[in-house]
Structure 1
Amino acid sequence: MRTTLFGVIAFAVTSLNSIFADESAKPTWNYSPELLRPFWQGDVVAGESVLFIKDDKTGEARASVLFPVREVLTVRNSVGDVTFENGKDFVWKPESREIVLPAGSRIPSRTPQELRRPAKSQKYELTHRDGNGEIFFGGRLEYAEMQTCITYRHAPDLWKSPVPKFDSKALPRSVFKLLNRQTLSIVTLGDSISAGANASALYDAAPFQPAYPELLRRHLEARFLTKVEMKNLAVGGTDTAWGLTQIDKVVEGQPTLVILAFGMNDSAGRPAKDYQANTKKMIAAIREKLPDCEFIFVASMLGNRNWIRLKHEAFPEYRDALKELCEPSVALADLTSIWTGFLELKQDWDQTGNGVNHPNDFGHRVYVQVIATLLDPRGEPVAWVSDPSGSGQSLNLQAGPLKLTEQRLLGNYTYSYACAAFDLDGDGDLDLTSSDAEPNSNLYLLLNDGKGDFRHSFIQKYAGQEDQPIRLERHAIGDINRD
C-alpha cells in the first residue's frame, strides 16, 4: 500500500530527537534583521529563493523574482558560501522580473522533466496532476541545493495581495509584554511545517536557519530586547483532531500566546466547518484553564498545485473559517494569501522545501515576517499622553524604530528649536530629543518608558576652543546605517 499525505509529512520530521541530539556542537545561524524585514515593505527583498528552469529546446535557463528589478545586490547559493557574478553567471534587464543564465553559468538549473520521477518509482507516491509521473520529493535539502537566493532592489509598494497589519486590539497582552520588556511565553502547536521540516537547521546543514517558531523567538528577542520563551509542540503528520489531544501539554507552559498552525494535513479531506469546529474547541479548552491566553491562527501556506492528492480549494476555505473566529486577543497570520500571491508570480519550486508541502528557508522567514507583524507596532499609534512639560499639549506616541520625524515646536519643555523622535533604546516606544538655538543650548534626551512618562537627561557639546558650546540649531537622529 502506498504511503499517504500524512506519511510524507511525518517522514520529513522523523528522528527529530536524533538530529538535534548534540545542540551544543551545532553551528548557528547568523541572525539578520534585514532577512526578516517583511518582503512587501521597503524597496529591497533579501534572499528571495528561485529555481532556474532550463528550456528543453534552447537550453537557456531563467527564473522570475517577485518584483521588477532595479538593481541586483547579491546572488548566492542557498548555503551562502558562493557569490555569483553579474554578467558572467547571470544577466538581467532593468524593470524586468526575469533573470537569465548565460552559457557557462555556475548557477544550478534543472529542466522540468528533472523535477519529475516515473510513476511509483519513489518511496512516497506523489502523482502529478497531469498523470505524467510523480513530483520529485526532496526529503532533506535537495530543493535547497537546486535553488538560488537573490537580494535585489525594486520600486516600493508593488505587492498587491493582502498583507498582515498590526492591530493594537488584537494581541494587547502579548504586545504589552514585548514593549515593556517582560518575558513573553509562547507555545506553538501544529504540523510538520511548525516542527521545522525542510528548514536547514533541522538537517544540521548550512546556513543552519531554524524553523519559523525558533526564528520568531530570536527575532522578537532581538527586536524588543526582552526574553521570549518558545515551547514548540508541533509534530509532523498531525491535524486539528490531534491538536485537541494536546491541550494539557499546551497549558503546562502557562503561555501568554498560543500559535495554532494546522491545515496542510487537514486538507486531505476535512471540511472547513469541521476544521473550524476543531480549532474553536482547542481555544475553548485552553481558555478554560488559561482564560487570558491570546492566540495566533496560522492559515497555512499552499502545497504544490500539481499534487493530485492535494485539495487546493481547502486552503482559502480554512483561512476564511479562521477569520470567522478572530476577535480581540485572537489574530490571523494569513500565509494562504501570501502564497497565493507568490504562485501568481512564480512557481511552486521557487520556494518549496520538499517539492510538495513544506517551505524552504526563505518560506520559513516569510512565516516569521507575517507573524511578527501582528506583534510589532512599528510606528502605529499606541497611546495619547500629555506633554510631560505641563504645556497642555498632547503627543501622539508611536512605537517602533522605523518612524523618524523632525519638527519645530513652540513653548515646549526646552523652548526647543528642533525636536526629533526615534526609538533610541530599542524598546518599541518613540523617544524624543530636543535642542534650541541659544548659545548655551543642550541636546536634551527624553526616554519614553511606554507609560506616558519620560526620563530626562542632556548632552552638552563643546567646540574645543575654550570650552565654547556649539550652537545646536538643528539635529537629527535615526538608524543611519540601517542596521
Structure 2
Amino acid sequence: MKHLKILACLFISLSASAELPALADKYTTCNDDSCSNYVVNKFNIHPSFFGGHYVYSDMVYASKEYKNEGLLFTPEGPVMMFNQMTGKLLVAGKDFSVHGDHVSFPSSTTVDLAPVGFSKPDKEDKDFNVRVTLEYPFHQMSVSYKKNESMRLLMSGSITDLRKIIKDKKNLKITYFGDSITFGANATGIYSAPNQPPFTDLTSAYLAMIRGGDVQWYNPSVPGWNSANAVSDETGRMLKFDSDVYVIAFGVNDSNDIEPKTFVANIEKLIKDIKTKNNHARIVLMSPTRPNPEWVLPKKEYFEGYRKGLRGLSKKYERTTFIDITDVWNQILKRKNIWAITGNGVNHPGDFGHRVIAEALLTAFLGDDFS
C-alpha cells in the first residue's frame, strides 16, 4: 500500500512552485455513451442527496473501532450494501444490521473491517496528526435505500438565468477551475476500482447524456493552489478558452493562511477577469468542502467567512450563482463519520463526496429532478 500513501501525499504537497499540469489544447468532448450514459448509469448520477426518493450509494465506514455508522437518511425499506472497491454484495443480518439511521457490523460479518487505530498517524504523518493514505475507500461500504428525506442545498444569485443557459445554449462550453479536488483528487477514477470520475466529469457526463453530446468542458485546475495562486497566475489558465459557464472552486488550501476578506477579494478579481473577457458568461461560485475536523492545519473558523463572502458576490454581480457546498458538508459531518467520506484522510473527499458535489452542480444547473 506504500504507493497509495505516495499518491495521497502528492496532491497535498504540490504548491505554486511545482510544475503545473499541462493545459489541454482543446475542450473535452463526448461523442458516445462511454462518457455519458454509461458513466451516469454505472455511478447512479440521479437525484439522491437533494431530491428523489432513493439514495444511490450512501457510504459507511466498516471498522472495528466504531460500532455504529450513521447513514445520511433513515431507510424506508430494505437496504442494499456492497463493497465499492470489489463489487461484492453484502448480506443483511449476516454482514451488517440496520438500526434506524445507523448501520453496525456483527461478529459474523465477512467485511474486512479497518483495525482499531487505523486512522492514527504514522510517524511520517506527524505533521497531519491523522493517517494520510488512500486505503480508506477499501473500508467504505456503499449503501442504497429508499428514503423520504433530502439534504438542503443553499443557493443564491442568478439561478433561473443559469438554468436557462444550461438547457438552451447550443454548443455549451464549461470551464471548471479550482484546486486538487476540482482537478480530480481523490476520485478513484485516477488510481483504482471502481474508477469513478471526479465531480467535473460526472457533471459533464450527465449534461452530455441529456444534451445529446452537445457540451464541451475544460479543466485547468491545479493541485495545491489557493485563490491567491489563481489571481497571480500569469499562464492564462482560467481564460484560455472563452466558455459560457465558469465554475470556480477554491477555499480548502486557502484555509491554511488566507483570511476570508482576502479570499473574497481574490475571487472577486477572478469574476472581474472573466467579465472583462466575456461579460455574458455565467459564473458559478462553490464554497469549499470541509477537511477532516481532526486535521490541525486548516483554520476552520475561516470557512464561514468564505461562504458568506461568496454568497455576497453572487448578489453583487449579474449572471453569478453561489452554491453552498460548505453547508452541505456541515450537514454530512453531523450525520456521518469523516472516515466514511474521506479520500485520503485529510483534505480530499472520496467517490461519495465527488458524487455529492456533482449532484449539487446538477441541481443548480437543471433543478431538483435534473430535467
How does the TM-score come out when normalised to structure 1?
A: 0.66
Match of 2:108 among 98, 104, 107: 104
Contact 1:36 1:368 in 2 (8 A): no
Alignment of 1:87-236 (within 5 A): 87-93=93-99, 96-118=100-122, 121-122=123-124, 125-127=127-129, 135-138=130-133, 141-154=134-147, 156-157=148-149, 159=151, 162-164=152-154, 169-170=158-159, 172=161, 174-180=162-168, 182-203=170-191, 205-236=192-223
Asked whether 1:345 is paired with 2:335, we answer: yes
- What is the identity, as a one-letter code, of the residue corresponding to 1:297? L
Matched with 1:35 is: 45
Alignment of 1:428-467 (within 5 A): none
From the superposition, tell whether residues 261 and 6 of structure 1 become closer, same or farther in structure 2 (CA, over 3 Å).
Answer: farther
Matched with 2:256 is: 268
From the superposition, tell whether residues 269 and 165 of structure 1 become closer, same or farther in structure 2 (CA, over 3 Å).
Answer: closer
Matched with 1:9 is: 12
**1:285: Cα distance to partner?**
1.5
Contact 1:257 1:295 in 2 (8 A): yes
- What is the identity, as a one-letter code, of the residue corresponding to 1:88? K
Query: How big is each residue's C-alpha offset from its partner over 1:227-268, in whole Å with a ceiling of 9 and x where there is no partner?
Result: 211100111100111111167332221101111110001000
- What is the identity, as a one-letter code, of the residue corresponding to 1:126? F
- What is the identity, as a one-letter code, of the residue corresponding to 2:111? I
Contact 2:156 2:311 in 1 (8 A): no
Cα distance in 2, alignment partners of residues 180 and 42 from structure 1: 24
Cα distance in 2, alignment partners of residues 75 and 182 from structure 1: 41
- What is the identity, as a one-letter code, of the residue corresponding to 2:263? Y
Query: How big is each residue's C-alpha offset from its partner over 1:130-177, in whole Å with a ceiling of 9 and x where there is no partner?
Result: xxxxx1111xx31111111100122x1354xx414697x4362x5334
- What is the identity, as a one-letter code, of the residue corresponding to 1:209? Q
Match of 1:63 among 69, 86, 101: 69
**1:326: Cα distance to partner?**
0.4
- What is the identity, as a one-letter code, of the residue corresponding to 1:193? I
Cα distance in 1, alignment partners of residues 219 and 139 from structure 2: 29
* SS across alignment from 2:217: strand
Q: Flag the structure with higher strand content.
A: 1
Matched with 2:265 is: 277
From the superposition, tell whether residues 247 and 143 of structure 1 become closer, same or farther in structure 2 (CA, over 3 Å).
Answer: same
Match of 1:334 among 320, 324, 328: 324
Contact 1:165 1:373 in 2 (8 A): no
**1:124: Cα distance to partner?**
6.7
- What is the identity, as a one-letter code, of the residue corresponding to 1:343? L
**1:366: Cα distance to partner?**
0.5
Asked whether 1:46 is paired with 2:33, we answer: no
Matched with 1:421 is: none
Cα distance in 2, alignment partners of residues 273 and 339 from structure 1: 22
**1:80: Cα distance to partner?**
5.0
- What is the identity, as a one-letter code, of the residue corresponding to 2:163? V
Match of 1:252 among 236, 240, 249: 240
Asked whether 1:241 is paired with 2:228, we answer: yes
Cα distance in 2, alignment partners of residues 165 and 298 from structure 1: 10
Asked whether 1:369 is paired with 2:359, we answer: yes
Cα distance in 1, alignment partners of residues 156 and 266 from structure 2: 26
* SS across alignment from 1:372: helix
**1:109: Cα distance to partner?**
2.1
Q: Structure 2, unaligned stretches of length 5 or more?
A: 1-7, 23-33
Tell me the matched-pair count.
Answer: 345
* SS across alignment from 1:66: coil
Cα distance in 2, alignment partners of residues 69 and 39 from structure 1: 13
Cα distance in 1, alignment partners of residues 229 and 160 from structure 2: 26
Cα distance in 1, alignment partners of residues 124 and 120 from structure 2: 10
* SS across alignment from 1:297: strand
Cα distance in 1, alignment partners of residues 361 and 272 from structure 2: 22
**1:62: Cα distance to partner?**
3.0
Contact 1:52 1:62 in 2 (8 A): no
- What is the identity, as a one-letter code, of the residue corresponding to 1:289? K
Contact 2:156 2:321 in 1 (8 A): no
Cα distance in 1, alignment partners of residues 237 and 300 from structure 2: 31
Asked whether 1:75 is paired with 2:75, we answer: no
- What is the identity, as a one-letter code, of the residue corresponding to 2:135? E
**1:178: Cα distance to partner?**
3.4
**1:43: Cα distance to partner?**
2.5
Cα distance in 1, alignment partners of residues 56 and 224 from structure 2: 31
From the superposition, tell whether residues 281 and 357 of structure 1 become closer, same or farther in structure 2 (CA, over 3 Å).
Answer: same
Structure with the larger RCO, 1 or 2 (CA within 8 Å, 6+ apart): 2
Q: Flag the structure with higher helix content.
A: 2
Cα distance in 2, alignment partners of residues 219 and 116 from structure 1: 38
From the superposition, tell whether residues 249 and 49 of structure 1 become closer, same or farther in structure 2 (CA, over 3 Å).
Answer: same
Aligned identity (percent) is 24
Cα distance in 2, alignment partners of residues 44 and 333 from structure 1: 23
